[in-house]
Structure 1
Amino acid sequence: MQCPRLLSDDMARSLSFNALGHLRAARIARHAELSVPAGALRDLLKRRGFPVHEALVELEGRAGGAAFPGGRLLGVACFLRACPSLRTADLPAAEHGTAFPVYGLAEHLTEWESPFGVMAASDGISLFDAPFGPAPAFSSLEQFLEVLAFAPLSGRVHSLRVNALCGETLAGLLEAFPHPAVMGEHTSGWIGEGVWVKELRIAPPDGRAWSSHRGTFVCTERTDLVVDVIELLLAQGYSLGYRGPAFEPPPGEPLAFSFVDEHPEVGYRARMRVNVWGRRNEYRISTQIEPTTTPHPPSA
């Protein structure tokens, strides 16, 4: 049985030590059963009636079959196999031609139920969040992976979203310094001691509000640090969102403070209350969906 190859080994000459370290620590691997050689991919694309963009063939050869936390896959053949009914007419049109899915949840592809990274004839990777987009996002596979693996790929990481484009300000506050490998037209990143700050400016054409692809993000495994940042930013009037470790409210612990995430991406017009419990060195964070009386849109 062939052992999966680590993506960090295959990309060792192309990525920064920061990204390689996080990919290696998370054991992000390329699985042979999820990828095919270049010639087989060209034949498969032609047989299914898709345009054969060499950028897709190159991505498959360099990173195809990589599996990420949460079930997301990177590659081309994995999506062809996951959705046998997929046809050219189902694909979004991008600036450089028909765009093919290269990153996302394969089981969501039939109805484009969640955002996908897509690629056309250029090396750039765009974001397609149906029915909007594709929106330009990353200039290359390397920059995509630098942003994807910018902070540790761990369930212990707190990711605080600030609903503003204020990365440089927060980086200065947290003594974080620019990370050139992440810097691009739509992305910026700064690294400090145990903290990663990134600013994403990937805006769907409809101008929808803050999301996991738009805003400023403070990522850290240090609970006290993220709580300090939350408290400071709430006092400054910022709107926030949160993803990360969450626990049941600890019995007997005081509620330090709470806020509402207006854009939690867990359902139509959903709101998430984020509670911070306890005291320094013992903080715990819990989350709960806020009840809403807003009616859902009518079915088509």
Structure 2
Amino acid sequence: MNRRSLAVRIGRLAQSLPQSWLRPIESPFVRTLVRADPNVIFLLALPRSGSTLTYQALVHALEPHYLSNLGNLLYGLPWLGLKSSQLFCGHHDSNFRSKHGFVEGLCGPAEGLKYWSYWTGVGLTDRHTLARNDGKLAQRVNYFRDAVRATATPRAPMIAGYLGHTLVAKQLREWFPSAVFIRLHRDPLSNALSLLRSRADKYNKWFSVKPKECEDMEDRTVQAQVAAQVYWLNRRLDALAHDDRTINIGYEELANAPNTTMNRIIHDGNACGLSLEMQKTLPSYFTHRVADPDQDKDAAAIFNEIRNLEQVHGPLKRSAQH
């Protein structure tokens, strides 16, 4: 199954149908089961930064609540979607494979563009995100918070891995003050080169999240575009540097020592009030690539573009540690 498969097309057709009219069926459960705080972890990461692998590792090791492809079909019914995912996918074993962020199978972790744009008003561009902030957004956010409060627990929080949330990290903290953020770092050069490769392989235009600083770059080289995309999205997340409920991890750290990194996430998450436990171990390592500007012309060009941006606008935080 892939994004063009018949099953996915049928799923997208189901998503296109109105679902809010069914909400009175689930809302009594939400009101009855609501708890004190929404136990939720937001994975905040850039496209092609290892976000899908990290999301899969979290779901596999911790067995939390999460947005599965099944739950994503029920985008308008968050409580029912989470409960259905728990029922059918509660002990999901990941094969750690994906294709441009898509994980196959009903239980595969879903990023959830339609889901999250509906509930948090966040698209893949600043322009789209601002357009979503209509009068009903506050009501939707409140209902979604209650749905999570009625479902997730400190032992099994909801984990979300939507890349668009990178654009609204500060707003997300206002909406979910008790949430734990996991900020995923990746070497900016390797990240940007991976974006470039994805565009060459599958996408002939922009790939994934596009910050407002990149809106007028159509006449620039693709190397300059991906460098700016990585630079400005990282700058958004650098704003979390002093957020005491943010766990910083490196993609290279996770790839080299998955279980050690997961244990640190568990330790730091529990210090924030969660009750996480390692339910299943991870592989001993994940293969990954590190870009070398001395060995690749594209990497060299991107390296120079990132360096120029840092000289003009300031350096990025490259450390995964506080």
Q: Relative to total residues, which structure has the larger strand share, 1 or 2?
A: 1
TM-score (norm 2): 0.28
TM-score scaled by structure 1?
A: 0.30
**Between Structure 1 and Structure 2, which shows a larger proportion of helix residues?**
2
Q: 1 or 2 for the larger relative contact order (CA 8 Å, sep ≥6)?
A: 2
